[in-house]
Amino acid sequence: MQVSQRLQEIPPSGTVAISNLVNQMKGEGIDIISFSVGEPDFNTPGNIVDACEKSLRSGFTHYTPSMGIPELRKAIAESVKAKNGIPCEAKNVLVTPTKQALFMIALAYLDPGDEVILPDPSWVSYEAHIRMCGAVPKYVTTDFSDGFVIDPAKVEAAVTPKTKMIVINSPSNPTGCVQPESTLKGIADIAKDKDLMVMTDEIYENIIYDGAKHYSIAAMPDMFDRTITVSGLSKTYAMTGWRIGWMIAPEADIKAVNKLQSHSVTCCTSFTQPAALEAIRGPQEDKVKMVAQFKKRRDLALDLISEIPGLECYVPGGAFYLFPKFSAKISSHELAEKFLMEGHVAVTPGRAFGPAGEGFFRLSYAASEDDIVEGLGRIKKVLGSL
Ligand code: GLU
C-alpha cells in the first residue's frame, strides 16, 4: 500500500523514535541511561490517581461532551485566568491531549502554501504538523550566545504576504529558554501589525527556576482574539501517559477545532477528566516538590557538564532540558548514536529540532540523580575517546 505524498515527506518523531529504541534496548537487557524523551520519572500524585480510580469505579467510562466535561472546562478557565491573566471562560476551553491540540490547530488553520514562523531550534512535531498540511515552516534562528531568546526583528523580517501563524513555545523544548516579556510584547506587536495568528505552547509553564517568570502572550492587550494557547497536565503533574491537556481560544475557534475533535477522537478519555479536575483544584504540594527536584537535577547536570571538555551549556530558566553545545567535529546524529551504542546513554540529536540545532544535543534531566551522574560519566568517556 502506498502512503500519501504528505506522509512520505515527513520523518517519524525524533523524540518518540529514540524513546522506542531505548525501550527496545532495555527489553533486550541492555543497561541504558535515558536522557532522551521529555517525561518526568515521578509517579502521578496519589490524589489524582485516586480521583481517576473513583471515576472508573463509578462507571464514568462513556463518551463525554466532545469539548470536555463542563466542570473541568470551568476549572481550567478559572485557573488560566487567575494564573496566566488570559481573559477566558469555560466556553474558551477545549479539553484534549496537548499534542492532539497542536495537530488539530495545524489542520484547522493551515492551507497549502501558508507560511508559519517558528523558532529554530524548536520541538520536533511543529514542523511535521505544518508540513502535513502542505504549509511551509519558516525558521527564525535563535542563538546560544543570546540564551536562545527570540529576536522580534528576525520574526518581522520573516513575515511575507503568505505568513499565517507565529509559533511560540516558552519555556522552550529543547533549549529551556523562558522568553522574556519584552520579546513576547515585540512578537505581539508584529502579530497585530501584520494581522497574524499566534499559537503558543505553554506545556512547561510551571517548570520554572531562579525567579524566571512565565508570560502568556494571550494575556497581552488585544491578543486574545488572535492567539491559541495550548497547555496541559503531562509535565506539571507527571501525567504524560494520561494524554490530557487543553487549548484556550476565542469561542468560534474552539468550535472550529472541536469539529476535528468530534471527527477524530470524539472526546478526551472520560475517566481522566475528573482526575484532571483534581489535579487543578486539589493540593499542589507534589507539583512544588517535583519542580524543586528538577532544579536540583538541573544544577547537578550543569555542574557535571562544566567538567566535560568539549561541552558548553546555556543555563536554562525552565522546562527540564539542557541543550549542550559540543565541539567534536561530527554531526549531532552521529554523536547521539555513539553515546547510545558505545556509552549506552540516550540523548536526542540537536538537528532533530531544526537546522540551528546542529552542533548540540538535548539532554532531558527528568531522570534520577544517580542516572544523571552515571549517564554524564558515560558521556564524558565517549567524548574523551573521540
Ligand atoms: N515532548 C516530549 C519530548 O520532546 C515528549 C515526546 C514528544 O511528544 O515529542 O521529548
Give me the tens of pLDDT residue by residue for the chain, a chain 386 residues long. Answer: 999 999 998 999 988 988 888 999 999 999 999 999 899 999 999 999 999 999 999 999 999 999 999 999 999 999 999 999 999 999 999 999 999 999 999 999 999 999 999 999 999 999 999 999 999 999 999 999 999 999 999 999 999 999 999 999 999 999 999 999 999 999 999 999 999 999 999 999 999 999 999 999 999 999 999 999 999 999 999 999 999 999 999 999 999 999 999 999 999 999 999 999 999 999 999 999 999 999 999 999 999 999 999 999 999 999 999 999 999 999 999 999 999 999 999 999 999 999 999 999 999 999 999 999 999 999 999 999 99
Residue 125 lies in a domain: yes
d(CA 222, ligand 1 centre) in Å: 31
CA dist., res. 57 & res. 35, Å (int): 36
CA dist., res. 363 & res. 354, Å (int): 16
Distant-in-sequence contacts of 375-379, Cβ < 8 A, 24+ apart: 375/33, 375/35, 375/345, 376/301, 376/304, 376/305, 376/308, 377/304, 378/33, 378/339, 378/343, 378/344, 378/345, 379/308, 379/339, 379/343, 379/345, 379/347
Amino acid at 208: I
Beta bridge partners of 201: 169, 230
CA dist., res. 316 & res. 323, Å (int): 9
The answer to whether residues 267 and 333 belong to one domain is: no
Residue 53 lies in a domain: no
State the DSSP H helix or E strand holding residue 137, giving kind and residue range, or none if neither: strand 136-141
Residue 333 lies in a domain: yes
Residue with the nearest Cα to atom 9 of ligand 1? Answer: 15
Whether ligand 1 lies within 6 angstroms of the CB of 13 is answered as yes
The answer to whether residues 342 and 246 belong to one domain is: no
Domain that holds residue 118: 62-281
Whether ligand 1 lies within 6 angstroms of the CB of 99 is answered as yes
| Residues 194/159, Cβ–Cβ less than 8 Å | yes
For a mutational test of ligand 1's pocket, the pick from 22, 36, 123, i.e. the residue with the most ligand atoms closer than 8 A to its C-beta, is 123
d(CA 244, ligand 1 centre) in Å: 14
- CATH number reported for the structural domain that contains residue 339 in this entry: 3.90.1150.10
The answer to whether residues 248 and 291 belong to one domain is: no
Whether ligand 1 lies within 6 angstroms of the CB of 383 is answered as no
The answer to whether residues 118 and 92 belong to one domain is: yes
The answer to whether residues 94 and 136 belong to one domain is: yes
The answer to whether residues 150 and 227 belong to one domain is: yes
The answer to whether residues 258 and 146 belong to one domain is: yes
Residue 49 lies in a domain: no
Structural domains of the chain, count: 2
Beta bridge partners of 318: 208
Strands 348-349, 361-364: parallel, antiparallel or unpaired by DSSP? antiparallel
d(CA 264, ligand 1 centre) in Å: 21
| Residues 166/155, Cβ–Cβ less than 8 Å | yes
Residue with the nearest Cα to atom 2 of ligand 1? Answer: 38
Predicted structure pTM score: 0.96
Among 228, 247, 281, which residue terminates a domain? 281
Please, what's the b/e burial string for 49-87 (b: 16 or more CB within 10 A of its CB; e: otherwise)? eebbeebeeeebeeebebbbbeebbbbbbbebbeebebe
The answer to whether residues 30 and 153 belong to one domain is: no
Among 256, 281, 306, which residue terminates a domain? 281
10 Å CB burial of residue 118 (0-12, 13-18, 19+) is buried
CA dist., res. 33 & res. 315, Å (int): 22
Beta bridge partners of 229: 200, 248
The answer to whether residues 277 and 292 belong to one domain is: no
For a mutational test of ligand 1's pocket, the pick from 16, 239, 323, i.e. the residue with the most ligand atoms closer than 8 A to its C-beta, is 16
The grid coordinates of residue 100 equal 492532539
Whether ligand 1 lies within 6 angstroms of the CB of 34 is answered as no
Nearest to 110 by CA among 186, 196, 168: 196
For a mutational test of ligand 1's pocket, the pick from 18, 126, 173, i.e. the residue with the most ligand atoms closer than 8 A to its C-beta, is 173
The answer to whether residues 98 and 234 belong to one domain is: yes
Nearest to 21 by CA among 337, 361, 354: 337
10 Å CB burial of residue 135 (0-12, 13-18, 19+) is buried
Residue 57 lies in a domain: no
d(CA 36, ligand 1 centre) in Å: 9
Ligand 1 atom nearest residue 348's Cα: 10
| Residues 368/41, Cβ–Cβ less than 8 Å | yes
